[in-house]
Structure 1
Amino acid sequence: MGGGGWYELDPLALYAGAKVTLVAEWDLIFVFFGSLSGSLSHEVKSAISVQSNFDWRTVLPYLAYQPSVPSSLSAPDTTTTAAMPVYMAVSGLLDGLDSIPFIWPILKTLPALALLYLLKTFFSGASNTSERNMHGKVVMVTGGTSGVGEAVVRGLAQRGAQIVLLTQHPLGDPFLVEYIEDVRNETDNHLITAEQVDLASLHSIRTFATKWIDNAPPRRLDMIILCANTTTPSKGKVESTSEGVELNWQLNYLANFHLLSILSPALRAQPPDRDVRVIFGTCSSYMGGDLLHITQSSPTPSSQQSSKKSPQSPPKSTATPKQPPTKFSPANAHATSKLALTTFALAFQKHLAAYKRPDGMPNNTKVLLADPGLCRTPGTRRWLTWGSLSGLALYLLLYPLWWMLLKSPAMGAESFFYAAMGEEFTKGTGGGWMIKEVQVRPPLRKEVEDEEAQGKLWKYSEEMVEEAERRGKEVRSKVQREEKESKEEADAVREMEDYKAKVGKKEGKKMEGSRRGKKGNA
């Protein structure tokens, strides 16, 4: 094929009697694409010859569709070939955009689609780029069966970590068994286990944590990730646990305080060269919390529950508070519990750093707080729907909006992955970093770093745990006593029924014997 000449394709070999030719500048393009796809047959290649007066576009559909053209070489369907990307692009270049079907509606839609894509990318948040070898590392996770916690579990398991799930479900529960099996199969990691721990029960937490630390040598523990969370809708009712603690305060804060207070020796006992991390799942709602009822007047839990004054109780502060404490209600319960959790996390880092290791090495446990942002989780859905059916219906109607504005649980887990695998957190002896959008951010409430407020909250929490456990023990004793009495009553009823059955049999035998005696005398 020489440059500058005209080439002819045999009309009988190509196109049902239509004579078409190619210009020299285009023949290389056709031969190139045809040779890539194998679409140029031997007959087509051999039919190219010098000629004039041609329309090269008529051969393009045939060349693109030639592999499926039968041996009779019938003309291709023009309605089908019009949708071919190459044909449409070439037509647009030579004949203008009007030659491309639906081009103007498409061009008008593209800016809107681009805007939606940019908005979705923005609201999805930042992605973690830090990676770390997680094989062999033991990670304890609360709240790991749904929402962001589930995404964290799957992500770390995929990286080879050994996961210990703390869950309220019995170990034989079908849901838990199926969930663990699913994670194992998806991640090809069989080091996924579970321990039954009801975070709504301080007794259950103590039972598990005491069993965990009661081991020699100390068990390996590289990381604790606290994702458990609950939210009471603003129109909901205040709920309490069986030990008399408000549910948000218990699950979001006090359970974590109690668990880490007992597991603290296990963290301090880890080898000095081991990178140990405790990651708290926090929320921006902590900025709306209020701990003035603790930090200003510093009441004990017992003084709140009883009106009787004890001589050992510290006197209440006579100073007028700068701002009255907010009444604890469903509307602010979640925010207050998250504020307490954030304050405790920073205090726990100081507590670990103050410990003097026997080997003289510095503290190797780092505390981090990870804020996943607003995600499409069961807790967020419950909060947005106000816990009502009408709210749920509205949520479903507006779901495209929520899909756009709220992160997926997987994207919410990115800050947790950064906290778990960020290499910069291994350096030095610091800690207490708050992470949001895969970046370290300073706390927006200065009182969370106040040592006096931290000390008052710690003392208040210890007293609350002690009193709640005492109430829980009384409840358990009462339940056990009632169960024992019920069992004794059931045993007495059963013995009475057995006795009546035996007496009935004896009387029946006597009556039968007397009838036989009467018949013999007769």
Structure 2
Amino acid sequence: MPLAFLTSLYFEGYPRWLPEPWRLLKATTAISTIALTKWYTSGRPNPAERNMHGRVVLITGGTSGIGAATAYELAQRGAQVVLLTRLPPTDAFLAEYVDDLRARTGNHMVYAEQVDLADLHSVRQFATRWIDNAPPRRLDMIVLCAATMVPPGGKRVETEEGVEVTWMVNFLANFHLLGILSPAIRAQPFDRDVRIVVPTCSSYIASPRLDVEIQEKEWTPQTAYARSKLALMVFAKAYQKHLDAYKRPDQLPMTARVVLVDPGLARTPGMRRWLTRGSLWGLLVYVVLYFFAWLFLKSPTMAAQSLLFAAMESSLVRLPGGRLFKECMEVDCARKDVDDEEVAKKLWEASDKLIERVEKQQAVKRARAKKEQEKSEEEAKKAAQVDEIESLVGAITRGKAKAAKETQKKNGKRGKAAGSSTNSYKLRRPPFSILSGPHASPVAHGYVYQDAPRGDGKSAGPRL
């Protein structure tokens, strides 16, 4: 076919049905440029592979975006995936999502646990339940994919506990979770490769220093997000040192590793919310210009490749922890204060104090609410008892009234019956009496019949 085409092109000239060479060159160049740009922006695929059967993985943010793609890939490789979500496992959406993930991966070892990262008490409840098991539960990996951001131009938002929501979800909740799960991580056997995968973002480069407090007037969504990511990176480095400082009872080295990952920019719900500024008009512009979002942003699956590399690369267990990976390659941190021990110490102490203060306040509120609830329940119980007694008294009263009414009816019937029997007796009385004596008339046998005296009260029967 190509030979025949070239032959006709040589002998018959350029065919009319083909575009002009210049147009064809421009179209080919445009298509090639788009293809190369998309190939470059899609990122590098994960070159590592690992058998994940039997491994227990805790993952936050595993129901959307990069976290969902990571959970799918790990479940497909046989890992036991525990999704930490703010929704309860009985929620209809979450139950359907878990069933769908099990069906698509063929792995039924996918579960969900309720952990609201905007609530420190919820984090403590889950982590405490996890470490209370004896013997310690198996734990091979923790992937912290959950994050939130306020759209540009938005106002500062605080959780019910009074903490700024970006700082709470992106940093403080992860700090609290890993702090409580630390005994469970250190209790794992020596031959178990435990990894804590911490996704971050290049926005940490523009963050202000952590030892400088941001005034409320200076707060912006961009600054809050960048600062939370910088704090998470500083804590991840310090947490690796915290694990390395632990001396195992068997005198063997600690094999747990903290791995920092920059997945890049992807078409996730968070990125869409950021680009659209959380408005319908922004969403309309996003839909119209979706081609550019598709061209320059990764898909969630390709963004998850670096996380999968951090989870499955076997050589990482032989390297020191706290390294940063991007596009499945190790890169250096762009800021020196990420490794500053003094900054990490101050951040750790300040976070501990903040958590302690917030939990005390919330404990007092919960105790007060519990006391009020018990009081209201006691009052409701007393009211129910009073209502029960009143209803019982009313029932007794109505029963007595009904009995009296029935007795009255019976008495009335008896009176009527007695009256009717008296009247009939009087009617059956004979109208005459048989008398004897001086008033008797001379008849046969010496007996006479005379009218009975009326009203004498004596029997009207015959008398001799």
TM-score computed with the length of structure 1 as normaliser: 0.73
Work out whether 1:128 is the aligned partner of 2:9: no
Corresponding residue number in structure 1 for 2:93:
175
Identity of aligned residues (%): 48
Q: What is the CA distance between 1:260 and its match in structure 2? A: 0.8
CA RMSD after TM alignment: 2.5
Corresponding residue number in structure 2 for 1:277:
195
Q: Name the amino acid aligned to 1:383.
A: W
- Residues 120 and 404, structure 1, Cα contact 8 Å, conserved in 2: yes
Q: What is the CA distance between 1:107 and its match in structure 2? A: 4.9
* Aligned counterpart for 2:15 among listed residues 98, 118, 127: 98
Work out whether 1:437 is the aligned partner of 2:354: no
Q: What is the CA distance between 1:119 and its match in structure 2? A: 1.3
Distance in 2 (alpha carbons) for counterparts of 1:90 and 1:139: 62
Corresponding residue number in structure 1 for 2:361:
471
Corresponding residue number in structure 2 for 1:76:
none
Check 1:265–1:89 CA distance in 2 against 1; reply closer, same or farther (3 A cut).
farther
Pairing 1:78-157 to 2, within 5 Å after superposition: 91-92=8-9, 94-102=11-19, 107-157=25-75
SS in 2 for 1:98: coil
Distance in 1 (alpha carbons) for counterparts of 2:345 and 2:118: 24
- Residues 92 and 99, structure 1, Cα contact 8 Å, conserved in 2: no
Work out whether 1:366 is the aligned partner of 2:257: yes
Pairing 1:405-416 to 2, within 5 Å after superposition: 405-416=296-307
- Residues 291 and 340, structure 1, Cα contact 8 Å, conserved in 2: no
Check 1:501–1:196 CA distance in 2 against 1; reply closer, same or farther (3 A cut).
same
- Describe the superposition over 1:81-138 as per-residue Cα deviations: whole angstroms up to 9, x where unpaired: xxxx997676446533324445756554222111111111121122211222222222
- Residues 229 and 252, structure 1, Cα contact 8 Å, conserved in 2: yes
Work out whether 1:159 is the aligned partner of 2:77: yes
Q: What is the CA distance between 1:412 and its match in structure 2? A: 0.7
Check 1:127–1:93 CA distance in 2 against 1; reply closer, same or farther (3 A cut).
farther
Q: What is the CA distance between 1:516 and its match in structure 2? A: 4.7
SS in 2 for 1:434: strand
Corresponding residue number in structure 2 for 1:495:
385
Corresponding residue number in structure 2 for 1:357:
248
- Residues 9 and 15, structure 2, Cα contact 8 Å, conserved in 1: yes
Check 1:330–1:500 CA distance in 2 against 1; reply closer, same or farther (3 A cut).
farther
Corresponding residue number in structure 2 for 1:460:
350
Corresponding residue number in structure 1 for 2:115:
197
Distance in 2 (alpha carbons) for counterparts of 1:96 and 1:365: 70
Distance in 2 (alpha carbons) for counterparts of 1:126 and 1:370: 13
Corresponding residue number in structure 2 for 1:213:
131
Q: What is the CA distance between 1:499 and its match in structure 2? A: 3.5
Moved more, 203-212 or 480-489: 480-489
Work out whether 1:336 is the aligned partner of 2:227: yes
- Segments of structure 2 that go 5 or more residues without pairing to the other structure are 416-464
- Segments of structure 1 that go 5 or more residues without pairing to the other structure are 1-28, 30-84, 298-322
Moved more, 192-201 or 407-416: 192-201
Corresponding residue number in structure 2 for 1:394:
285
Q: What is the CA distance between 1:513 and its match in structure 2? A: 4.3
Q: What is the CA distance between 1:506 and its match in structure 2? A: 3.2
Greater radius of gyration (CA)? 2
Q: What is the CA distance between 1:176 and its match in structure 2? A: 1.8
TM-score computed with the length of structure 2 as normaliser: 0.82
Distance in 2 (alpha carbons) for counterparts of 1:247 and 1:390: 25
Moved more, 282-291 or 432-441: 282-291
Distance in 2 (alpha carbons) for counterparts of 1:492 and 1:361: 63
SS in 1 for 2:233: helix
- Residues 209 and 263, structure 1, Cα contact 8 Å, conserved in 2: yes
Distance in 2 (alpha carbons) for counterparts of 1:259 and 1:491: 40
How many residue pairs get matched?
411
- Residues 258 and 321, structure 2, Cα contact 8 Å, conserved in 1: yes
Pairing 1:247-258 to 2, within 5 Å after superposition: 247-258=165-176
Check 1:494–1:237 CA distance in 2 against 1; reply closer, same or farther (3 A cut).
farther
Work out whether 1:424 is the aligned partner of 2:315: yes
Q: Name the amino acid aligned to 2:12.
A: D
Q: Name the amino acid aligned to 2:173.
A: A
Q: Name the amino acid aligned to 2:135.
A: P
Q: What is the CA distance between 1:324 and its match in structure 2? A: 8.9
Distance in 2 (alpha carbons) for counterparts of 1:86 and 1:482: 90
